[in-house]
Amino acid sequence: MPHAWKVATMGRQSHTVEPMWRAEDEALLSRLEDERILERLWLAATGKREPQPARAAGLIACIAQIEGGRRAREDADRGELAPLVRFVHGAPLAGMAPELLHHLALHLAHVAEAIGDESPEAASDARLRSLAAWLGLVQERNYLYELARAVAGAQLSPAELERAVEDAALDVIDGLGREAEEGARNRTQRARAAWRTLTRVPEACRAAGLATSTDLAGRAMARADSKRRHALDAALSSIAEAIADASARGSLSGDALRLLHPATTLWSWAEYDEAVERFVIDQVSDAAWELYRGNRWDDLRALMATIDPLVDSLCRRIEEHHEPMGYLAACAHMLIFRAETATTLSEQIALAEKALAICPSHRNARIVLCSYVCRSAIHTMDRVGFFVGDKDVAAMEAMLARAEELNPTSKSLGEARRRLAAFKQRAYRRSP
C-alpha cells in the first residue's frame, strides 16, 4: 500500500513534472523503518529503551536481503516481532553473508553488555552467538581483510592485516577473559556471564560451523581455557594469601572455616569448576590434620561440612574418569576426616569404604576401616541372642578376615578375635 504522503502526490503530476517520490525517498523511508524496528528489537532483548546508532540498523537491512529474514522483517514492520527475535538469536550462522555476521556479532555483544548485570545466563547466550559470528568471519577471512585494509589503509602491511584477521575472534576471547578476571573476586554477575561464555567456546565453534579439530577452533578453545584459568587464579590468590598468613600466625585451624568460605562461593559462581575443588582440598589439608590430631571433632565436622560438596564432586570425577590421579590420596584423606566425624557406625564404614575404593593403597583408610569393621563385628556379636547359629559364626569370621586383610597388626583385631572365641563357645549353638 503506498504511504500517505506518497498517495497525496498522486494525481498532481503531469508528464512534464518529475515524480515527487524518488528512489532516494524510498531508501530513506526504509532506513527509518529499519531504525524503528531495531529499537523494538533492542527493547525486546534488553528491556531498555535506548536510542541505537543509525548504522546499527544495517542489521535489519541485511536480514531483509535473505529469504529467511525477509519475511521476519516484514512481520516486524507489521508489529509482529517474534520471528525477527528468533532469527537474530537462533538462525543458523553457517552460510550467512559476512556483512550480516558482522552486524550480528556487534549487536549481540551490545545486548550482552546491556543485560550482563541482570541476567548472566541470557548475556552468556548473546556473547556465545556473537563469538560464533566472529569465528565465522575469521573463517571466511576476505570480508575482515578488506574491512581492515579499508580502515587501516597503508598503516598495516599485508602480513599485519592477515594477523589482525586471524586474531579477531581471539581478541574477543581476550576481552571475555579480562571481564571475568576483573569481577571474579567479587563474584559479579557480569563477570559470571563472561566466565560462562569462556566455558562454552567449543559450543561457539560448532555454531560457527567449525569442527573442533580445526586449527581456528583449537586456538580459540586453548585461549579460552587459558583465560578461564587465569581468572580463577586471580580470584583464588587472595584466599591463598590469607590462609598462608593464618598459618604463619598459628591460627590456621581456627580460621580455616572462615577463610575457605569465599572459595566455596567461588566454586558455585564458576559453575563447579574442578580447579576450585583442587585448590580447596590442597588448602584445607593442614587445618584438618591439626583438628584431627587435637580431637577437635566439632570443629573438624563443621569444616568438612563446608567443603563436602567440593570433595564429593572431585571424587565423582575420579570415579567416572579416573582423573585427577594426583588427588586420589587427598580425596581419601577428606573422606576419612568425614568418617571420623560421622555420627553412626554404618556411615563411618561407608565413607571409609569409599575412601579405599578411590585409593586402595591409602594406609590411613585401611587402618580406620579395619577398626570400624572390628567394632561392627563386636556390636553384632553383642546383639545376637543366646542361641548362635553357624551362619552367625561364619559372618563374624568373614568380617574379621576382612579386617585382618586391611590391617593385620590392628589392636582392634585382637580384641575382636577374643570376642569371637567367646561367641563360638556359647553353650547352645545351633544350626539355622
Q: List the grid coordinates of 108.
A: 549481540
pLDDT bracket for residue 67 (50, 70, 90): confident
CB 187 within 8 A of CB 265: yes
pTM for the whole structure? 0.82
pLDDT above 90 for 309: yes
Does residue 300 lie within any of the structural domains?
yes
> Which residues are within 8 A (CB) of 192 and not within 5 positions of it... i.e. 6 or more apart?
120, 183, 269
Specify the DSSP element, H or E, that contains 351.
Answer: helix 345-358
Overall number of domains in the chain: 1
Cell 579395619 identifies what position? 370
**Alpha carbons 73 and 66: distance in angstroms, whole number:** 10
- 151-175 exposure pattern, b = at least 16 Cβ within 10 A, e = fewer: eeeeeeeeeebeebbeebbbebbee
**Alpha carbons 122 and 205: distance in angstroms, whole number:** 19
What is the three-class DSSP state of 132? Answer: helix
CB 425 within 8 A of CB 383: no
Does residue 82 lie within any of the structural domains?
no
What pLDDT score does 157 carry?
86
Does residue 255 lie within any of the structural domains?
yes
CB 195 within 8 A of CB 180: yes
What Å distances lie between residue 417 and 93, 177, 408, CA to CA? 73, 62, 12
Does residue 373 lie within any of the structural domains?
no
What pLDDT score does 112 carry?
96
pLDDT digits (tens, 9 = 90+) for 406-425: 999 999 999 999 988 888 87
Does residue 282 lie within any of the structural domains?
yes
Percent of the chain at pLDDT > 70 equals 92
What Å distances lie between residue 217 and 203, 207, 280, CA to CA? 10, 11, 32
What pLDDT score does 151 carry?
86
Question: Can you list the pairs that 200-204 forms with residues at least 24 positions away whose Cβ atoms lie under 8 Å?
Answer: 200/124, 200/128, 201/131, 201/173, 203/128, 204/128, 204/129, 204/131, 204/132, 204/135
What Å distances lie between residue 81 and 84, 88, 199, CA to CA? 6, 11, 31
Does residue 70 lie within any of the structural domains?
no
pLDDT above 60 for 1: no
Percent of the chain at pLDDT > 90 equals 75
**Alpha carbons 305 and 298: distance in angstroms, whole number:** 11
Residue 336's nearest CA partner among 389, 281, 277 is: 281
Residue 144's nearest CA partner among 159, 129, 164, 127 is: 164
> Which residues are within 8 A (CB) of 316 and not within 5 positions of it... i.e. 6 or more apart?
none
Determine the number of helices (DSSP H) and then strands (DSSP E) in the chain: 21, 0
What pLDDT score does 316 carry?
95
What pLDDT score does 41 carry?
94
4 sits in the region (left: phi over 0; alpha: psi -120 to 50; else beta) called: alpha
pLDDT bracket for residue 154 (50, 70, 90): low
For range 48-59, the mean pLDDT: 89
What pLDDT score does 3 carry?
47
pLDDT digits (tens, 9 = 90+) for 137-150: 999 999 999 998 88
What pLDDT score does 426 carry?
64
- The angle formed by the CA atoms of residues 270, 315 and 228, to the nearest 5 degrees, is 25
Mean pLDDT score of the chain, rounded to an integer?
90
Does residue 355 lie within any of the structural domains?
no
Question: Can you list the pairs that 163-166 forms with residues at least 24 positions away whose Cβ atoms lie under 8 Å?
Answer: 165/138, 165/141, 166/138
14-18, 23-27, 76-80, 195-199: which range is least confident on average? 14-18
What pLDDT score does 422 carry?
83
Residue 344's nearest CA partner among 372, 308, 364, 380 is: 372
pLDDT above 80 for 386: no
User: Could you list the residue range(s) of the whole structural domain that residue 299 is in?
Assistant: 234-328
pLDDT above 70 for 428: no
pLDDT above 50 for 11: no
pLDDT above 60 for 18: no
211 sits in the region (left: phi over 0; alpha: psi -120 to 50; else beta) called: beta
9-13, 84-88, 349-353: which range is least confident on average? 9-13
Does residue 413 lie within any of the structural domains?
no
pLDDT bracket for residue 2 (50, 70, 90): very low
Residue 418's nearest CA partner among 391, 367, 381 is: 381
pLDDT bracket for residue 19 (50, 70, 90): low
What is the three-class DSSP state of 81? Answer: coil
> Which residues are within 8 A (CB) of 155 and not within 5 positions of it... i.e. 6 or more apart?
none
pLDDT digits (tens, 9 = 90+) for 311-357: 999 999 999 988 888 999 999 999 999 999 999 999 999 999 999 99
pLDDT digits (tens, 9 = 90+) for 161-216: 889 899 999 999 999 999 999 999 899 999 999 999 999 999 999 999 998 889 99
What pLDDT score does 9 carry?
43
